[in-house]
Structures are given as structure tokens and as C-alpha cells.
Structure 1
Amino acid sequence: MKKVAKVISQSNNSLVQSMPEENLQTMGARVRHYRERLGLSQEELALRVGAAQQTIQSLESGKIRKSTFLPHIAKALGVDFDALLLGKAQPQVIRTSRPLLMATTRRVPLFTTRDCEVVQAFLQDQSVQSASGKWVSMDYSLPFAESGLRLFALKLSLSDEAFQPEFRPGDQLVIDPDAPIQPSDPVIVFKPGAERLNLNRYRVVSQSGADIDYELVSIHPDFPSFAGDELKSLQILGSVIQMRRPTSSRIRLAVLEEQYG
């Protein structure tokens, strides 16, 4: 009996390197090419640059041709910015094996608004993890270079009405407890005895030297604002420095609005 030789398929590396140049005439095609060369999904690339997955999808499809995230995307993909934007020749093809996380990237624990005690424990001891064990990836070469080790994230649910309408169920909020609070910043607030963390906007009423008179204004009209002596019992856990809205949460929200709207 004759033995039939098995045909070995080409590796992903050779397939990527043999891609015809005419297929890379658009910026979107180049973003997709370099992303797939590294073995990254759209969601993984979006997490690395702090953008929404929809932004990456729109760039690759050609729906949008400009984005403030492009320099960060080029860096995350390991290509020259001009090569990504204008299609100029890349001096050397970078290895196509899937890279390890960059040294500037670390995991930030993802909590829920009901994790009041766990969040407070994390602020004292950064080895504390969320009950779910989930996390988000933050690249410290981006706007978070000055953020400290206490950075954490909150994932919102349908019951987090105090965060609406500015934020929606499924949104992930990144909070920096060590960032200086600026006027009008949204801040995460803990009130002793409350079942969940809430969101208020930091509003300066008056300022004299180092003395600041402020109030915490509720974003949702059905939730209270705080001022004066009420502030003494509250703890501001940090400012919201970024909001991430996964595509799947927008789809899910649209379905819920259709069902209950």
C-alpha cells in the first residue's frame, strides 16, 4: 500500500510575510495586517491602547480614517507611525510570533460597585484581588504613566442607577485614587453603611488659598448630592480617569432598551 505524504500547512509567519503589498494600500488594511501578524484580536489591541473595540473595527473597515489613538496603535503593533499611516516601507519585518505583554503593561483589578469592603482593602494592600478574579490591561506608556499602584476598575451593572445616564451597564470605569481631583471630575464615593459605591461630580463652590469649599453633585437626579457637614462622613476613593465601553455591552443595552423601553 502506498503511503500518502501529509501536506504540512504553512506557518502563520510565512503567510503574513507573503501577503501581497497591493492588499495593504489602505490604512485600515495595514492596521489589520499588523494586528493579525502579532496574533492580536481587535479587543486585545483596543485594550492595549485604551480605545473601544469599535474604534479598531471602524479603522480597519475604513469607516474612519483619523483617530487620536493611531500613534498608540502604531506603537502597540511595533511599526513606524508613517508606515501605518502612509504605507511607507517598514525597514525590517518584526518577528511575527505572539509577543508577551510589554513591561509597561500591568493588570488592574476589576471590581463591582458592591465590592465596597474589598475595594477599601485593595487601597491598603494591592495584593488583594476582586472576588471574580477579573482584571483589565492598562498600558503605562499611555496617559496613565503618572498613575500609582492603586489604580483599579469598576464594572457597572443594570442596578447601578447612580451612574446613569452618563455611564451605562457594562461600562468599565478606571479609577486613580492618587490623581489630583480637578473641578467637575467624576469621583467614586463611599458612604459608610451603603451597599454600593456611588458616583458624584466634584464641584468647587469657593476657594481661598489652600482651603476649598466643594460639594459632590449627583449625576442621576434621583440620588442625593452632598455638601457641608455631610461630606465629613464620605470617602472619595478616586477620580474616574477613563471609561471603556465594550461593543457587546452596547448591543446588550440596545436589546434591554427595546424590551423595557
Structure 2
Amino acid sequence: MLSHDKVWAAIDALAAQNGLSPSGLARRAGLDPTAFNRSKRFAGDGRPRWPSTESLAKVLEATGEALDTFAARVGSSTLNTPERPFLVPLLSLSDLADTQSFDAHGQPAGSGWTTFQVPAASSDAFALRVSDDRFLPHYRPGDTIIVSHETPIRLGDRLVVKPFQEPVQLCFLENETPTSLNLMTIGDNSKSMRFQPSAIEWRARIIWASQ
């Protein structure tokens, strides 16, 4: 039976199969990056919002998925529950320096992404795996961190930060003003960094870690 939940579950599964978040899938299809966010799946009064036929057609074209294959996916989709976790894109931190792993909005892009199961996640979440001891004592080799752009950021939060023309950093947010962003890198050899907001390409909050 066709249902609102199963159609969206099929879109989520298609995104994960292609190593993308729902936001990344929307962007690949040439849609507004927020088109498939979970917050957009219901109206303010609680009524369900369905993806348009135009957006589905663009997604199928962008991923090479046949219509009958997607229909079968809808028919077999099972809602994400603790027994059937969410799949989010996953990449090792050691692979970030050598690949174009993110787009300008900080969403997973390029090759090398696999998937990682989590009990729950926002629609734009992705996972990074710690591959060395740079981030001790906070994160050990083999730990996986879950990162979200949608989750609000507060002082003291742990972030993944991408300055323009610099590598991705794992940091604590120490202070923020309209003219400066003060960060402390995560790790045994931590250091303070100060940026103008315009110098930051994107940032996202670390919301969970498998430790």
C-alpha cells in the first residue's frame, strides 16, 4: 500500500545507497537542498507533505534509478525504528585531505562514502570515522562521530568546521560574536583559533559518537 511514510523512507534509502544524505540527494537532483528535510515532510498544521512527481523524476534521473525499481523500493520500505536504524553517509577522517568530500554547503559529495547505521538522525546527518590518535582523549581510533547541520549550535559544543582554503577541523566553540569565531581544536595538542565569520565555509555540530 502506498503511504506517505513509505515514500519518504524509500527516498531516504535511495539517498543512503548513493552515499548521500537526503539534502545531498536533493542537491544532486538540482532541487532546493532542504526539499527532502524531515521538517519539510509535514505542514505546520501536521498535514503530511508528499514529494512532487517532478522532484521524484529529477531524483530518479540523477541517480539512474528506474521507476519500477523505486516503486518496488516503496513497497518494501520499512520505517526507521531502533530495530531498523537510519543509514547515514560515512567517510574516514583520513580520507578528507585527498578527496573533494564535501560540497560548498558541507554535505557529503564525491566518491568514497559508505554508510553507517544509527538509531536516529536528522535528515542531513553524516558520519566521520576517527582513524588515528590526533583527537585523544576525546575520540579514539575507530570511534565514529555523527555530524548534523540542522542541529542548533551552542557555546561549548563540539563542531566540525571547514574554513575556506583550509582542511576540516574538529573543534570546541569557545565564543562567537558578529565579528569573530573563537575555536579550540579537539585533541591532545589543542590550540586556539580565531576566524572572521566570512572565513568559514561551513560548520556543523557533532551530535553523537560511538565510544
Runs of 4+ that moved beyond 6 A: none
Q: TM-score, normalised by structure 2?
A: 0.50
The answer (yes or no) to whether the contact 2:106–2:202 under 8 Å persists in 1 is no
User: What residue ranges of structure 2 are gaps of 5+ in the alignment?
Assistant: 1-75
The answer (yes or no) to whether the contact 2:105–2:202 under 8 Å persists in 1 is no
Q: Deviations over 1:132-189 (max 9, x none)?
A: x42111333xxx4xx2x2210000111x61x222111110000001111011100001
Tell me, in whole angstroms, the C-alpha distance in 1 between the residues paired with 2:159 and 2:114: 22
Matched, 1:190 2:162: yes
Matched, 1:120 2:94: no
Residue of structure 2 in register with 1:8 after alignment: none
Which protein has the bigger helix share? 1
Q: 2:79 aligns with which of 91, 103, 126?
A: 103
**Shift in alpha-carbon separation, 1:122–1:232, aligned structure 2, 3 A:** closer
The answer (yes or no) to whether the contact 1:187–1:236 under 8 Å persists in 2 is no
**Shift in alpha-carbon separation, 1:165–1:232, aligned structure 2, 3 A:** farther
Q: How many residues align?
A: 130
Tell me, in whole angstroms, the C-alpha distance in 2 between the residues paired with 1:228 and 1:129: 27
**Shift in alpha-carbon separation, 1:193–1:125, aligned structure 2, 3 A:** closer
**Aligned residue type for 2:116:** V
The answer (yes or no) to whether the contact 2:137–2:188 under 8 Å persists in 1 is no
Identity across aligned pairs (percent)? 19
For residue 241 of structure 1, report the CA deviation from its aligned partner. 0.4
**Aligned residue type for 1:103:** L
Which protein has the bigger strand share? 2
Q: Deviations over 1:77-114 (max 9, x none)?
A: xxxxxxxxxxxxxxxxxxxxxxx884124310111223
Q: 2:131 aligns with which of 157, 169, 177?
A: 157
**Shift in alpha-carbon separation, 1:212–1:203, aligned structure 2, 3 A:** farther
Tell me, in whole angstroms, the C-alpha distance in 1 between the residues paired with 2:210 and 2:111: 18
Q: TM-score, normalised by structure 1?
A: 0.42
Matched, 1:234 2:200: yes
User: What residue ranges of structure 1 are gaps of 5+ in the alignment?
Assistant: 1-99, 246-261
Tell me, in whole angstroms, the C-alpha distance in 2 between the residues paired with 1:124 and 1:200: 16
Q: Deviations over 1:49-83 (max 9, x none)?
A: xxxxxxxxxxxxxxxxxxxxxxxxxxxxxxxxxxx
